[in-house]
Structures are given as structure tokens and as C-alpha cells.
Structure 1
Amino acid sequence: MTTRPTRPIRRNLHTGRERRRGSLPVLARLGLVLATAFLVLFPAGAAQAATGEGMDSYTAAYDLQKDGSVQVRERITWRFPAGEERHGIFRNIIVRMGVSGQDGKYRYYDMTDVAVSSPSGAPDAFQVSDNGAAREIRIGSADQYTSGTQVYDVSYTLHNVLNPIAGQDGAANTVEFFYNVFGTNEFTPRDKVSVTVNAPAASTKVLCYQGAAGATTPCQGTTGNPSTFSAASLASGDAMTVVASYPATAFDNPRPDIRDGSSDTSLGSGAASAANAAAWVGGIGAPVVALAVMGTLVWTRGRDERYADVTPGLTPAAGTAAEAPTTRGGRTVVAVQFQPPAGVQPGMVGTIIDETANPIDVSATIIDLAVRGYLRIEEVDGSGPFSRTDWNLTQLPPPADDRLLPYERKLLDGIFASRGDVVALSELKNHFASTLKSIQSAMYEEVVRRHWFRSSPQVQRGVWQGLGLALAVIGGLILFYGRGAIQAVLGSGFTGGVALGVGLLLAGGITWILGGRMAAKTAEGSAVLAQSLGFKEYLTTAEAGQIAFEEASNIFSRYLPYAVVFGVADRWAKTFADVARAAEAANQPLIMPTWYVWSGNVFPDFTSIANGVDSFSTTSTGTFTSTPGSSGASGFGGGGFSGGGGGGSSSGSW
């Protein structure tokens, strides 16, 4: 009998608002995070690709013994990564392999007599341990480093490696040495490989194969005693297999060592069964626990507080708010408010509405600062047929009766401090993103200072969504990468990796979604929200007849930044177009604002100014968030860099 081993929310640019609580860009982010996590977890492979780590040469002598064992002597010339220090190398020698046509059984090659030395003087202490289906020989010391090119001599004995080959009469007429010098899991490039096989008799025929799994690409092999084999330029993942046939009479009736169990582990099927049970419990339990815990947290801490005995939109009398009873949850009741909340700027209104300091809130703040006299916005038409409108921002002397909030000061300084008193909006492109983050952070600090939130809503969301992302990353690593590593320890009987990975991915998604609802407003914040939504109701329903001519120009300018935040600037402009026509008919023409300079060929009206401001807000949000892109160079032509491509592998050194 012949026994052979087997191979082993669309965003509205007009309004700039987006509801963050329901968004879940998990898959896009997860892909980026998994790639990053892989490079972090497997840095040796990335370094190898970047620095040319590999074997300059591998020379091995396989001395076949009459009892069917083989004494192996290896000389490995190892090239460590340029400019880096490592502790040493490791060799994984397969000692368990499945048997063709025999499920639940494996072939065992007992490994003994391990010895290591280094003619080049590299640290040669070693440890031998189980590593799944292999025995790992880890060479080097955790307290010492080595670098450059080093030589290692490794020797060991493998038992029961020969295959008796039966003839037509059923008797073993020949014996084969059919052995993988390297498996397809060898990811270290090998420049030159030379193998000799010594035996009690000369070989009668030989074969040599190299390449990926299943490849029939030949390498060099010659018969005799010794038989010789060689290969050059074995790339990452290339195997090398040698076959030598001998007369059966040269050996003492060798037999393979066939055992019950899994070829992938030394722990046995019991460990795999226990791990399977734990993985399935974890896979099913993780999303259930995540849903229960996060659901409880959202119900008890993630819902907005409200004053219990106060009309929505109102607050208790001064000095009594701290003692006023509150409740959680409930629908926000909106009543029309004819003015914005007292002392609440447009950027703050935008932040309280969706609990996020969006770029549109920053753009509205610029418009509000212009209305208040801190700067002037002036349209600048391009000269070419395909050119775009730009805007000059001109800093003005600050009004004596107004004060800036910290985030407003950061905004003005970010625009003008290093660029002078006149700055084109286009000049900020690719240079303002870091300043924008600082301004947004100051806006979150401002809503906490005003006691609308107990802590930054960005931080509240970020902590829980970060936990969700971590769970999803772990689940993804187990699902896509970790199953093989676990099976290497527990064996192919372990099948719970998919359940555990999917379960953690689901738990991460649940935590991410519900974590986005953890930014709860205080009762004071809920009151401001109700007032803000009531003011939005006014802007969307106001009629021209409700606005007095003598107040119209001032009201138009004061409320326009809020209309931009709410996304109703066009509706507000149409209302004032009606007001202007009525005022003209009454011989009381309205005065046009001076804080915005229109570039049109005719006299501006409220509609043209509102359209210009709306266009400015849309353009500025893109300008503020823009960052420089890559050069677009090809990775083949010198534009590539470590970590800039895709994929990676690790092997060989530690």
C-alpha cells in the first residue's frame, strides 16, 4: 500500500447638514482599518518587502538511514533587513500531515536531535516548540540582536519519512523519499538552494518541482549517491519538492507512522471541540450582549434630558434650573419663535441641532461675523469662460460693542493672522483643514461651557464608536486572517472562526450605531434645541407682510446666517424679494447690505445676495476640508513607498 502525505446619507450641499446619528460608514472605514491593522500585526513581512530580507543561500544534506529516518543538516545564509537589528531566525519543520483518503488520521514525523550553531557568530541559542502542524526551531536570544548577513547551521532527525511503494505483487519493491524541502507557506525569498540526498544505495530516478501549490515546474535533479537537487530564485510562496526512488532492499522495511487525530495540531480533537463551543457561544453571545448593554446605556444615558414641568423651549426661572426636575426622552415640541435663541450664534445653532460642528456651521459663522462688522465678503468673478467665482475676505476693525467667542477668534486668526487683511477664499484650499479641526474642537468646548452637554458630544460618540470599531476590526481579523492561525494551534477540527468573527463584526456594528446616540443633551440643551427649531419654522413660513420696512434690511442680514445653517436661504431670500417690492411700491426702498459685495452687472437685490452667500457657504465648506492629494505617480516608477501599496507577508526573522 502506498501512503503519501497530502498537501498540506447623501449630503445636501445646499444645506450642509447631515444627520449623523443614523450614519454608519463602517464598511469603508473597516476596509482601511483592516489594512492598517494587518501591517501593524505583520510588520516583518512589510519590512522584508521593503528591505530585501531573504536567504542568500540554503544548503541541505539529507542522510537517509536504513530504518527510514533522515538526518538533516542545513546551512542557511540569512540576509537580515538593511539597517535593522533582529534577534534571529526561526524554522518551522512540518511533523504532521494528513493522509490521502483517510480522514481523522495523520502522518507523524517525530523530530529529535536538534542542534544549532552559527559560524558567523550570530546568537545561536534556540528553543523548540509546537507550532500547529510544525515544530518550530526559534534561534537567537531575546536579549541580543544581530544584523547584516549571518550563517546558521541547523541539524535534526526526522523519523518515518520514507514511503514503501508496492509492486504488482503487493510487495514493496521500491522506497521513495518524497519530501518538501520548502512548503508553499515559506514566504522568505531564497536566492540559491542546493540539496544532496545520501542513502544506503544509489537512487534509480529523481524528480524535482518548484513553484506555487500544484505547480509542475521542474528544478534540477540528478540520480546517484548522493542525489543532488538545486533551484534558484525561489520567490515568496514558492515550494520545492524532491523525489528520489531507491530499491527496497537498501532499507530495513520502513513504515510511515500513521496516527488518529488531526494533522494540524498536537492538542487533539478535544481542544478543538472545546474551542468550537466557546467560539459559537462568543459568536452568538457577542451581538446579544452588545445589543443589551448598548440598548440599556442609550435608554438610561443616551436620551436627551428635558425639564419636566416647563413648557418646551422655556427654562426655569433664574437660579432654579439646577433644582428643577428633569426627565429623559420624549418628542421635541416645536412652537414658532420669531427670533433666534438669545445669545446663540448661527454656528452654535447648527451644532445643537445635530450635535455636530459641521463645516457649514463654520461657514455660517464667517457670514455672521461679516454681518456683525468683523469682515467684508466680496465676490470676484474669474476671467476665463470656465473660471469659478472666488471671494475676497477683508478684515475690518472690530466693532467696539461686540465680543468674540473663543471659536470665533480662532476662525478669524486662522484666516487672517498669517495672510494679511485681504485673503481670497481659494488661498485657504489645502491649508485650512487643521485649523478647521481646532475651530470645531472649540465649538464643542463652547456647547459644554454653556451646559448644553455634560461633555463634548464628539467625545461621547467617539468613545463608544471607537469601541465598536475595535470589535469590528478584531472580528474582521479573525474572519479573514485569524482562522488559519487558530487552526494552526487547534487543528482543522476548529470551525468556529467564522461564527466568532461574524459575531464580533455584528457586535461592533451594534456598538457603533448605538454609540452614535450617546451624545445626550442636558435639559438646558434641549430647551435651546426647541427654540432653534422654532426659529427655523419662522424662517420657512414668514410672510412679507409680517416684516416692517424700517427693520427689513437689518433683519435680512441678521437672520441670513441662520437660514444658511437651516438650509432655507433661498426661501428667506424670496420672502425679502417680496418685502423689497412692497417697500419700493410704498416709496420706502430698502437699503442693501454692505457686508457682502456682489459682482453682478446690475444693482444687487436680496435674492442675488442670498444666492451669493449660499454659494459662498457651499464652496467654503469644501475649501475648509480640502487636503493635498498624492502626486499621482506610479508605484513602478519610483512613486511607491512602504505601506503605500496593498498586501504584505511575513516570515523568517524575529
Structure 2
Amino acid sequence: MRLLALRLLALAAAVAVVLVPGWVASLDGDSSPAADPVTITDYRATFDVDEDGTLLAREELTARFPSGRHGIFRYFDLADPTDEGARLYPRDLEVERDGRPEPFDEHWESGQRFRVAQIGDANTFIAEGEHTYVLTYRVEGALVPTGADSADGSASWSSDDPDRSVFYWNVVPGGWEMPIERSTIEVRLPTAPDDVTCATGWGTALDTCAEAQVDGSTVTLTTGALEPRTPVTLRADLDVPAPDRGSLPWSVTWDYSLGRSVPLLALVLLLGAATFTGGYLWERRARERRPGYPAMFEPPPGLGPAQTAYVVEERVPDHALVATLMHQAAQGLTRLEQTEQGMVVVGLAEPAAWEAQDPVSRHVGEMLGVTTPGSRFAADGSVGAGQVLSGLKASVRTATTGWATGSGVQQHVTSEWLGRFAVIGAAVLAIALPFLGIAPLVWLVPLLAFAVGGIGLLGRGVGTRRTKQGRLLWSHAGGFRRVLTTDSAEARFDFSARQGLYTDFIPYAVVFDAADGWARKYEQETGQPAPLPDWYSPVPGLYWGAAGLSALDAAVSSFETSVSSSINAYQATQTSSSSGGGSW
């Protein structure tokens, strides 16, 4: 269930990586830019429209420049207000200035809605005065069916008639940031129009175009002064069949994410399905089939609580250090004394007795310096104690995993490590590529799908696999945990047959986070309150209240508090001393 939730979260993140940037980039900020100091004194445009819908455009504009300018921008809006699935892409763009070819660069804005020509040289300033630019380009799909409608609802359109078409065009684009003093537009249509209407400005209803002159198939339109970003729209009804025009099942908003090709999108999605399957199968190979958990009434011989938990869960639990301290005491190696300042570990055994213990218990004893009779370690909340315990908590994990590999319980698996690195690499690459300019973002789908399919390769235990010996221990330890944590009706202990059985297994119950259940099992089967272990000495004179479950809770809590307060004291000193500065 946890893996499924992780996979769904990864899937949601992958979808967001592909779709959200395109949507955010397409948002149109309505804030007006600063006034452009350049003025277009005369704008002349000629549009030749063929029966197949191809438009050949020639724009000639005379612009008055102040000093310190490099050139102009021409914004081409790919969105068609009559059909959100159509794209009006400018092709074969050429630019001249004062009769000579002018350099320009092209880039996208608002996702991939606006194709922007940045005309001029960044290393060259335009001389102050008037200059004439000539732009020529080609656009396909300029004729639309009669049943089409403008996106802003500013016009009424006739019903769909396959033998007729409409030319609907911003003959003065709304993307000019400069004011225009006058304009002259000439549109050469494939046939004489039946009706001509026009509008000036955004959201203005089309109306009879008094400024337009119709001479056969040619429409000439003149205007006076136009404010910046003011379009002039022309509509002409034509007795020409509407040509086929390419259309996509999504609007231009999603082009940055999905591209402009349905077959290419389908191909990429198929590749994504293949990489998802590859990642998932790689993950499945890394999973270990869980053995049966027969009822076991004692832990695997020679294993302390940290090792027993590790062979089951392939991780070292948070309670491993406290459980190991209790295990040492249960084995007669130490005694745990609770004081008003914290907890004291008192060494009782000779070094030879420590040598016979499991390596994790021995490691903890050596780090605390309690491997000789009478030696002591106080977890009293001091910085020194915290430094030792902080390092010990980390080294218990290292000692446990080192024992598992060194004793042949588990082995490293190269293919699983490669899978883990592949998932991480795919995710990192998918996040990095958009910053390097890759578009559309759907190209990221194969990488993201692989990461989603193989997300389980990032889970714990991946990279190592239990050996035959390890699986036997896994089954034994899992069966023991099952007995510790299940109801008495399913697995009963004969506590009367062995003195100290309950207290000996308290450390294992603690490491499995089942101390409450273990105490409750004892009380249910014996009818007596669970006793405190004799290897634990509470604060002298402190009444623990009722024996049994509450007593064990208090003991475990006091151990954890003593360890945590010491570690927190040490970490506080590290935090306060890690900042600062000075001169040198």
C-alpha cells in the first residue's frame, strides 16, 4: 500500500512536470509594458490569399527611432480565434532594413503561443531618425469554414457551408508595442468577397467597414492613428470552398507541453509505456519474496534485537539503541539505573563475557566504555553524553548492516544499485532538460515513466538481497515478531515454564515497537501485572504507580527521554556554533 501511494505521488509529480510549466507559461499577463519610444509613422501591408488558404504577407513599416535602440520585435500569435485547434505559424520569414537584409533571432514566449522575431543586432545601435523595415513571410490556414466563430464572441457567423469560406485576419497585428500614425492594408483574395466587415481594438464587434474599398477581389483598408497593441481585424465572406486545414485536439495553451503532432504524441506515449514497463519489471526483480512466518517463541540464536529487526525489515529501527541497552542489561552485562538527571549504564561483566555477545551489543558497550565491572556511562543530558550517543545512534546502523553483509546474511546486488541510479538519473534529467530548452515537454514522458515504474527501486532494502542463510533467519525472526505482536489467542507463551521469559524479551518487543502488546499478552495469559525487569533500577523512592503495562511504558519512555535529551543538548551546541563570520 505504501509503494502504491508512492507510485501515485510520483505519477502526479510526473504529470505536473509535463503539464504545469506549459500552462503557467501560457498565462497572459495583462500588465501593460512601458511605452516604447519608437513610433511607426507609416505601416503598409499586403496579403495575398490563395484558394488553398495560404497567405503570403509583406509588411513595410517606417519607424522613427530615438538614439540607443537596437531594433524592433515582431510578435506572431499562433492562436486562431476561430478555431482553438488551428495554428497560424509564420514560415520563411525574411527581414530587410533600409533595403538591406537585417539579422534577427526567433524565440518563444507564453509557452509556445507567440513566435517572436527579435530584429536587429545586439552589438549595433540604430541611427537616430526614420528607417524602413520590410518583413515577408507565409502562413497556411488563412481561410476558415463559414461555421467557425471568433473566440471572443464579437461576431455572428453564418451556418457551416462547405462551398464557402471566410477570411478572418488581424491585418494590423495587436502585438505592436509602438503607436502607429497611419496604416494602409491591401488584401488580395482568391475571389471577390460577398461581404466585408472590420473592427478596431480587442473585443470590438465587427461592423460595416466604411474605411474599406473593394475592387474585385482586392480589399484596401486605411486607418488613422492607432494606440500600441491595437489590432485591426478584417472579415471577408468568400464563395470559395473551405480548404482542409490542420487542427489539433488541444488549444495552443498546451503546445509547450504536448507539441503540435498527434502521431508524435502517440509515439512518445508508447515509448513512455515501454519505459514504464521496463522500470516496473526492474523493480519487481529487486523485490524479495517474503517467506512464511511460522510461530517462533524465541529470537534466532545469537541475534540481538537490532539484528533481529534488521533481518525482517532491512532497516535499523529508531528504537534499536534503547533496545540494545536493554538487551545488554537482560544478558547480565550491565545494569540500568534511573536517576533524577537521566539514565546510568553500569558495567557488570568481564571483557570475556562481552566477547561472547552479538557484535552490535559489543559495539555499543565499547562505545559507552562499560565493558568492565564498575565502569559507568551517564546519559544525563550533558553535551558530552549527547556527543557520544549521537555518534552511537548512527554507528549502530553501520554496525548492524556491516554484520549482515560480513556474516553472509545479505549480499550486494549490482543490478539493483544500477536500477536505483537509473531511476534517480531519469528523474534528474527530466527536471534538468526543460532548463536546457527542450520542447515540447512531452519528450520527457519516457524518462518520467521509467522513474514512476521503477520508483520502488528507491525503497529500503534495494541493493542488497538476503542469502539462503539470511532467508532462514528472516523466516525465524519474522515468526518471532509475529508471536510477540499478535493476540494471545493466536500464539500463547508458557510464561510459567521459564523464569524471566517476559523480561528477557522486552528488548525485542521494544525494537519492534510492540512493548505495550507484549505486556498485555503477559497479563492476559497469567492474570498478573507485567513485572518490571530486575536489571532496571528506578529512581529510589519514586513510586511507579500500578505495575505492569504502565510501568513498562514509563521505563521505555524514560530511556528514550534520557537518550534524546542528551543528543538534543549536543545538537544545540552544533547549531549555535555553526554560524558567524569576521574579517581576516
TM range (shorter): 0.5 to 0.7
Q: Does residue 1:511 correspond to 2:447, yes or no?
A: no
Per the alignment, residue 227 of structure 1 pairs with: 225
Secondary structure at the aligned position of 1:359 is classed as: coil
Distance 2:339 2:18 in 1: 47
Per the alignment, residue 181 of structure 1 pairs with: 175
Residue 196 of structure 1 is aligned with which of 180, 186, 190?
A: 180
Task: Give the TM-score, by structure 1 length.
Answer: 0.49
Gaps of 5+ in 1: 1-8, 10-19, 78-87, 117-123, 146-152, 166-171, 183-192, 217-223, 231-240, 249-257, 304-328, 381-390, 488-496, 584-588, 627-654
1:291-306 mapped onto 2 (5 Å cutoff): 291-295=280-284, 297-298=285-286, 302-303=287-288
- 1:150-176 CA-to-partner distances (Å, cap 9, x unmatched) read xxx99662558999x9xxxxxx9x997
Distance 1:290 1:347 in 2: 32
1:440-589 mapped onto 2 (5 Å cutoff): 440-455=397-412, 464=419, 467=422, 485-486=439-440, 501=445, 508-513=451-456, 516=459, 518=462, 519-536=464-481, 541-548=492-499, 552=500, 556-570=502-516, 572-573=518-519
Residue 82 of structure 2 is aligned with which of 90, 100, 108?
A: 100
Q: Is the 8 A contact 2:481 2:512 kept in 1?
A: yes
Q: Is the 8 A contact 1:433 1:625 kept in 2?
A: yes
Residue 281 of structure 1 is aligned with which of 233, 256, 270?
A: 270
Residues 625, 574 of structure 1: alpha-carbon distance in 2 compared, 3 angstrom cutoff: same
Cα distance, 1:423 vs structure 2: 3.2
Gaps of 5+ in 2: 48-57, 124-130, 144-154, 156-165, 186-197, 206-221, 237-242, 371-376, 485-490, 569-584
Q: Does residue 1:334 correspond to 2:294, yes or no?
A: yes
Residues 179, 447 of structure 1: alpha-carbon distance in 2 compared, 3 angstrom cutoff: same
- 1:238-276 CA-to-partner distances (Å, cap 9, x unmatched) read xxx413589x9xxxxxxxxx994469799xxx9935414
- 1:5-35 CA-to-partner distances (Å, cap 9, x unmatched) read xxxx6xxxxxxxxxx7x56434446667888
Residue 593 of structure 1 aligns to which amino acid in structure 2?
Answer: W
Residue 359 of structure 1 is aligned with which of 303, 314, 318?
A: 318
Residues 560, 23 of structure 1: alpha-carbon distance in 2 compared, 3 angstrom cutoff: farther
Residue 64 of structure 1 is aligned with which of 43, 49, 55?
A: 43
Residues 245, 394 of structure 1: alpha-carbon distance in 2 compared, 3 angstrom cutoff: same
Distance 1:522 1:35 in 2: 41
Q: Is the 8 A contact 1:208 1:229 kept in 2?
A: no
Q: Percent identity?
A: 13
Distance 2:76 2:282 in 1: 45
Residue 564 of structure 1 aligns to which amino acid in structure 2?
Answer: V
Q: Does residue 1:157 correspond to 2:99, yes or no?
A: no
Cα distance, 1:353 vs structure 2: 0.9
Residues 104, 206 of structure 1: alpha-carbon distance in 2 compared, 3 angstrom cutoff: closer
Residue 601 of structure 1 aligns to which amino acid in structure 2?
Answer: Y
Distance 1:434 1:159 in 2: 70
Q: Which has the larger radius of gyration?
A: 2
Q: Does residue 1:394 correspond to 2:344, yes or no?
A: yes
- 1:615-635 CA-to-partner distances (Å, cap 9, x unmatched) read 457879999999xxxxxxxxx
Q: Is the 8 A contact 1:363 1:617 kept in 2?
A: yes
Q: Which has the higher contact order (CA 8 A, sep 6+)?
A: 1
Residues 59, 369 of structure 1: alpha-carbon distance in 2 compared, 3 angstrom cutoff: farther
- Bigger Cα displacement from structure 2, 463-472 vs 281-290: 463-472
- Bigger Cα displacement from structure 2, 352-361 vs 466-475: 466-475
Q: Is the 8 A contact 2:336 2:345 kept in 1?
A: yes
Q: Is the 8 A contact 1:127 1:139 kept in 2?
A: yes
Distance 1:618 1:176 in 2: 74
- 1:49-81 CA-to-partner distances (Å, cap 9, x unmatched) read 9xxxx976644544412535434689999xxxx
Residues 625, 243 of structure 1: alpha-carbon distance in 2 compared, 3 angstrom cutoff: farther
Distance 1:89 1:342 in 2: 83
Residue 195 of structure 1 aligns to which amino acid in structure 2?
Answer: P
Q: Is the 8 A contact 2:91 2:137 kept in 1?
A: yes
Residues 282, 602 of structure 1: alpha-carbon distance in 2 compared, 3 angstrom cutoff: closer
Distance 2:89 2:184 in 1: 24
Distance 1:274 1:514 in 2: 32
Secondary structure at the aligned position of 1:229 is classed as: coil
Residue 511 of structure 2 aligns to which amino acid in structure 1?
Answer: V
Cα distance, 1:364 vs structure 2: 2.1
Q: Does residue 1:25 correspond to 2:23, yes or no?
A: no
Distance 2:365 2:74 in 1: 60
Task: Give the TM-score, by structure 2 length.
Answer: 0.54
Count of residue pairs brought into register by the alignment: 461
CA RMSD of aligned residues (A): 6.9
Secondary structure at the aligned position of 2:342 is classed as: strand
Secondary structure at the aligned position of 1:70 is classed as: strand
Cα distance, 1:515 vs structure 2: 6.8
Q: Is the 8 A contact 2:36 2:178 kept in 1?
A: yes
Distance 2:458 2:333 in 1: 41
Residues 504, 558 of structure 1: alpha-carbon distance in 2 compared, 3 angstrom cutoff: same
Residues 74, 426 of structure 1: alpha-carbon distance in 2 compared, 3 angstrom cutoff: farther
